[in-house]
Amino acid sequence: MKNLNPTSTLSWKKLNKHFLKIRNIHIKDLFQKDINRFKKFSLNFKNLILIDYSKNRITEKTIKYLLNLAQEFHLEQAIKSMFNGDYINVTENKPVLHTALRDFKKKKIFLNNVNISISINEVLEKIKDFSSKVISQEWRGYTGKYITDVVNIGIGGSNLGPEMVIESLTPYKNHLNFHFISNLDGTHVIEVLKKVNIESTIFLISSKTFTTQETMTNALTVKNFFLKQPKVSLSDMSKHFFALSMNEKAVIKFGIIKENFFPFWDWVGGRYSLWSSVGLSIALSIGYKNFSLLLKGAHDMDNHFLHTPLNKNIPVLLGLIGLWYSNFFHTETEGVFVYDQYMNKFAKFLQQTCMESNGKRVDRNRKIVSWQTGSIIWGEPGTNGQHSFYQLLHQGTKLIPSDFIIPMKTHNKINNHHLKLLSHFFAQTRSLAFGKSLQDFLHENKNKSFFKKRFKNKKDFFIYQVCPGNQPTNSFLLRKITPYTLGALIALFEHKIFTQGVILNIYSFDQWGVELGKSIAKDVLSILKSKDLCTKYDSSTNSLINFYKKF
């Protein structure tokens, strides 16, 4: 991968100059100047997802300079490097090949002269076989009851992806009930255990490393709870406990038999693992066929990313536009607003994908960066957000680029709910971009009265209602939320993040930052267990710990 300081490139310099020229241009004026703006700045993925990025503070020149920047970073080659299994996760000395998991029809994918396609397909067969046994009620618990509930125990990537996908695809769900235990807070495990009947529940322990404290603590609690059930023996665990991991040794040590081990590999990052055996819960929930359609959707987006010229490449363009805001307009956050209740966990899922990937401060040249890297991702489903934080988007002082996502076809056609939902979707992106001026208000309210006792004139009154607009948005119109379109949408965002990482010259596939807190917590735990007061830290941390100890 090209190793450059982005700010020293010719394109960055051009972008800087260009920014000074267009920073105050209003989206409204950009549309007025060019009636073909939508046509120029929108793309369509297989007639299933329309992406409109015309309501951005960009011109054709902006895109030209951004594409030049991508070229200076040899982005096309970087993309190929990922798909080729090059060791692009340098600081962990690993290749990054989650894309191979969705290319399962291909017979040969070589990594270090090993055809990994064989093991990918073996695991998929195992997922297919087991999920069909559970769904068809052939698989029974230790007392002979068929399975009614599935509990996924995992955190981070071993939780967020499956939980989001299962909820997003609720309309495709079968009779099985799903539960997720992620938090170390004992409340999480206790509340789930209250809801399930152990005799008809299977537990999927999902952890790439099989050492993560939260997951192993929860898994042990569940195992002990299981073994305390009447008439249960250790061998009955084989009917109820399954592991999705790359650490076979630790899985066996925990007491899970080899037949119940669904492996995945070191070249699958945690936050990209829903495509691997971590997706077992997804296959159980929607059936293997639908799971394979999810993979297919992602694979088709992979092909788009790999083979489409940069100027028509959806993840590339969205990634570049994202950089334009964070590094030239100095925005810090990006909103993700999905107008679909089933997809209410999508923003939460993207938070890990983006913030764990691009929340970095050292470049590929071991230098502290002087530019902005990953943005803060946040969001709530529409229309809920409209009645809380949208006020700040419309009239606050912050520039917040955001993604608006909606299916055109709903799974729940009831009265005119969906038409109303669509109307809000279109209205929000329109009003965020165009706003409403004081002149418009004065013109519209020529003959209307106002609070004369409080305001000298109409202008003083209506100034409070003005919405300046010029807030950038991308609109995503999905034909329908299906396993296929969801797979494509997730892969789109994964590749957008990859694009940004390449150009920001950072390593997107490690996450060393999460280690410090983990190791201090280990140390603190031993202090909490001892009788002595804590003196080894700063006065704040010592006092907090000791206050707790006295309590």
Positions touching ligand F6P (CB under 6 A) are: 155-158, 207-209, 212, 215, 270-271, 356, 511, 514
473-480 and 49-52 beta bridge pairing: antiparallel
Please compute, for residue 186, the number of CA atoms within 13 A of its CA located in the half-sphere on the CB side: 3
As to burial, measured by CB atoms within 10 angstroms (0-12 exposed, 13-18 middle, 19+ buried), residue 93 is: exposed
Q: Work out the angle at residue 59's Cα, subtended by the Cα atoms of residues 38 and 337, and round it to the nearest 5 degrees.
A: 60
Residues 6 or more apart whose CB falls under 8 angstroms from that of 135 comprise 174, 175, 176, 284, 287
CB of 89 to ligand F6P, least distance (A): 12
Catalytic residue among 163, 214, 356, 494: 356
CB of 50 to ligand F6P, least distance (A): 32
Return the number of the residue (444 or 523) whose C-beta is nearest ligand F6P.
523
Contact criterion met (CB below 8 Å) for 201 and 145: no
Instruction: Give yes or no: 98 in active site.
Output: no
Contact criterion met (CB below 8 Å) for 97 and 509: no
Give 231-244 as a DSSP string. T--GGGHHHHEEEE
CB of 283 to ligand F6P, least distance (A): 18
Return the number of the residue (302 or 510) whose C-beta is nearest ligand F6P.
510
Residue 467 CA from chain centroid, whole number = 31
Please compute, for residue 340, the number of CA atoms within 13 A of its CA located in the half-sphere on the CB side: 32
Return the number of the residue (157 or 335) whose C-beta is nearest ligand F6P.
157
Cα(481)–Cα(338) distance, integer angstroms = 11
Strands across the sheet containing 261-263: 177-181, 149-153, 201-206, 241-245, 261-263
Name the region of 114 (left: φ>0; alpha: ψ -120 to 50; beta: rest).
beta
Return the number of the residue (6 or 270) whose C-beta is nearest ligand F6P.
270
Catalytic residue among 387, 446, 456, 531: 387
CB of 72 to ligand F6P, least distance (A): 30
CB of 273 to ligand F6P, least distance (A): 7
Return the number of the residue (281 or 470) whose C-beta is nearest ligand F6P.
281
Cα(113)–Cα(225) distance, integer angstroms = 45
Return the number of the residue (356 or 403) whose C-beta is nearest ligand F6P.
356
Instruction: Give yes or no: 17 in active site.
Output: no
Instruction: Give yes or no: 356 in active site.
Output: yes
Residues 6 or more apart whose CB falls under 8 angstroms from that of 132 comprise 138, 287, 288
Return the number of the residue (156 or 319) whose C-beta is nearest ligand F6P.
156
CB of 172 to ligand F6P, least distance (A): 25
Catalytic residue among 40, 46, 289, 518: 518
Contact criterion met (CB below 8 Å) for 312 and 45: no
Return the number of the residue (58 or 244) whose C-beta is nearest ligand F6P.
244
Cα(207)–Cα(330) distance, integer angstroms = 37
CB of 296 to ligand F6P, least distance (A): 24
Cα(171)–Cα(410) distance, integer angstroms = 10
Catalytic residues: 356, 387, 518
